[in-house]
């Protein structure tokens, strides 16, 4: 049989139902970790499924080692993460030079990976690492089980409520629930960036590209947008923009990773050879940092208009406070989709309806795959806001389990009160 011009086959096999839980969180980025801990805190049995060896997603594996926006008032789980980072002496205020980042806090992302795993375990969350979501089984609008595959092979996980925190909306997409992607006109998403970490070398010359590998950059105009971030004593992170790929397509994503590594060494070579920076390559993020993939269509889609107007909602469960951070996906240079004035937005609220998948009676979402338009997401995707949303989705899931109810039937005012009681500041005025 052919589907979209490609041959397709039916495939079925029996697999063991190895795991059962009240709440299953798919994807262990900052949103997923926060969701899992919040649901577990409420007494639910929780399983978190993560395809990599560590949790944290962009914050760890993507090398994005900087909390933007507010780091206080994001809720009890995020407060605990910050306290642990302080105890490990692994977080510092942003030292400059950009003024609009002055509230931000830079951290050690390898230490964060340890902190997050311990936080999950202290909350009693069952953690499955090296385990990928593969398929979703539904009965009408209800997810009954998901198929996960780790080193033991394909197995089923059954839960009452599922939370999609995969960034690319893999649960919703696989289930066939409505998702959206990128710009309205062509579906192009915001560009990803490669994080390259360098250390200063004292004395001697810095290494350069071996001849004949990649194309040396001759003039500054040929560089892609590169932001230089502080990264610990004597260290810097180079954030290198890459355009022209679809992060929701397997082959395109593969080509993106290959090009990003080449670009990284071309850029570093330029800084070493032409700018005479004494930088030695230390490491790069094992995976390119992805700003935007698929977004799930929820009961409400947060719009850029809501964000610009600092809109409040009766069913608010989180609060955004960051600018519209939307570099153009069409050009490699530092060109934004909106001007500076338009980018600065007041604090705004995120409603509970935008973390509830419209097509399902037991799927929630949090983080960068929540229900928002592209520009609204460009603000709401910062990590403290993803954590706040994750905590809210986890609490909502826990309450739905207790009431044995569809999450959308849980009283939003009860959820809101619980969130505020747990240290999240939702007010915007």
- Note the residues at the interface with ligand FAD (CB under 6 A): 26-32, 49-52, 57-59, 62, 64, 66-68, 132-133, 165-168, 170, 192-193, 239, 289-291, 367-368, 381-383, 386
Comparison of 290 and 338: residue with beta carbon closer to ligand FAD:
290
Question: Which residues make Cβ contacts (< 8 Å) with residue 153, sequence separation at least 6?
Answer: none
Comparison of 166 and 206: residue with beta carbon closer to ligand FAD:
166
Comparison of 135 and 406: residue with beta carbon closer to ligand FAD:
135
The structure tokens 């760890």 sit at 60
Residue 289 CB, nearest distance to ligand FAD (Å)? 3
Residue 50 CB, nearest distance to ligand FAD (Å)? 5
Question: Which residues make Cβ contacts (< 8 Å) with residue 39, sequence separation at least 6?
Answer: 22, 23, 25, 46, 163, 394, 395, 397, 398, 401
**Closest-CA residue to 126 (of 218, 204, 197, 28):** 28
Cα(205)–Cα(318) distance, integer angstroms: 50
DSSP H helical ranges for 42-131: 76-87, 109-122
Cα(247)–Cα(177) distance, integer angstroms: 19
Comparison of 119 and 386: residue with beta carbon closer to ligand FAD:
386
Residue 133 CB, nearest distance to ligand FAD (Å)? 4
Q: Mapping DSSP to helix (H, G, I), strand (E, B) and coil, where does residue 55 land?
A: coil
Comparison of 183 and 273: residue with beta carbon closer to ligand FAD:
183
Cα(28)–Cα(34) distance, integer angstroms: 9
**Closest-CA residue to 350 (of 401, 400, 386):** 386
Residue 55 CB, nearest distance to ligand FAD (Å)? 6
Residue 396 CB, nearest distance to ligand FAD (Å)? 16
- Let me know: does 196 contact 267? Beta carbons within 8 Å: yes
Residue 241 CB, nearest distance to ligand FAD (Å)? 8
Residue 325 CB, nearest distance to ligand FAD (Å)? 8
Residue 405 CB, nearest distance to ligand FAD (Å)? 26
Comparison of 108 and 168: residue with beta carbon closer to ligand FAD:
168
Adjacency order of strands within the sheet including 105-107: 66-67, 105-107, 91-93
- Let me know: does 292 contact 366? Beta carbons within 8 Å: no
Comparison of 260 and 426: residue with beta carbon closer to ligand FAD:
260
Comparison of 28 and 398: residue with beta carbon closer to ligand FAD:
28
Cα(121)–Cα(165) distance, integer angstroms: 18
């Amino acid at each position: 049989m052919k589907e979209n011009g490609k041959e397709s086959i039916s495939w079925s096999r029996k697999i063991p139902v190895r795991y059962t839980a009240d709440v299953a969180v798919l994807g262990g980025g900052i949103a997923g970790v926060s969701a899992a801990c919040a649901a577990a805190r409420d007494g639910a049995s929780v399983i978190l499924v993560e395809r990599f060896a560590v949790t944290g997603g962009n914050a760890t594996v993507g090398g994005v080692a900087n909390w933007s926006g507010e780091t206080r008032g994001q809720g009890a789980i995020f407060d605990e993460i910050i306290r642990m980072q302080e105890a490990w002496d692994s977080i510092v205020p942003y030292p400059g030079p950009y003024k609009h980042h002055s509230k931000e806090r830079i951290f050690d992302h390898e230490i964060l990976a340890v902190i997050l795993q311990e936080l999950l375990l202290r909350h009693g969350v069952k953690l499955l690492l090296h385990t990928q979501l593969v398929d979703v089984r539904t009965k009408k609008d209800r997810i009954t089980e998901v198929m996960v595959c780790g080193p033991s092979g394909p197995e089923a996980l059954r839960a009452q409520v599922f939370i999609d925190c995969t960034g690319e909306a893999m649960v919703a997409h696989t289930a066939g629930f409505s998702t959206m992607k990128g710009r309205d006109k062509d579906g192009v998403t915001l560009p990803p960036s490669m994080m390259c970490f360098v250390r200063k070398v004292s004395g001697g010359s810095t290494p350069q590209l071996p001849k004949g590998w990649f194309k040396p950059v001759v003039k500054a105009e040929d560089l892609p947008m590169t932001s230089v971030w502080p990264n610990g004593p004597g260290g810097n992170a180079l954030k290198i923009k890459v355009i022209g790929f679809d992060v929701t397509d397997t082959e395109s994503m593969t080509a993106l990773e290959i090009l990003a590594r080449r670009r990284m060494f071309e850029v570093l070579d330029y800084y070493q050879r032409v700018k005479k920076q004494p930088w030695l390559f230390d490491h790069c993020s094992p995976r390119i940092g992805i700003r935007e993939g698929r977004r799930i269509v929820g009961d409400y889609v947060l719009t850029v208009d809501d964000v610009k107007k600092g809109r409040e909602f009766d069913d608010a469960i989180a609060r955004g406070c960051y600018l519209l951070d939307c570099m153009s996906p069409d050009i490699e240079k530092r060109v934004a989709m909106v001007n500076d004035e338009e980018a600065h937005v007041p604090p705004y609220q995120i409603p509970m309806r935008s973390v509830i998948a419209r097509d399902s009676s037991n799927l929630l979402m949090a983080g960068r795959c929540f229900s928002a338009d592209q520009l609204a997401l460009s603000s709401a995707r910062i990590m403290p806001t993803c954590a706040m949303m994750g905590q809210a989705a986890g609490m909502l899931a826990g309450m739905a389990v207790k009431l044995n109810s569809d999450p959308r039937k849980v009283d939003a005012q009860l959820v809101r009160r619980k969130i505020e009681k747990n240290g999240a500041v939702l007010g915007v005025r």
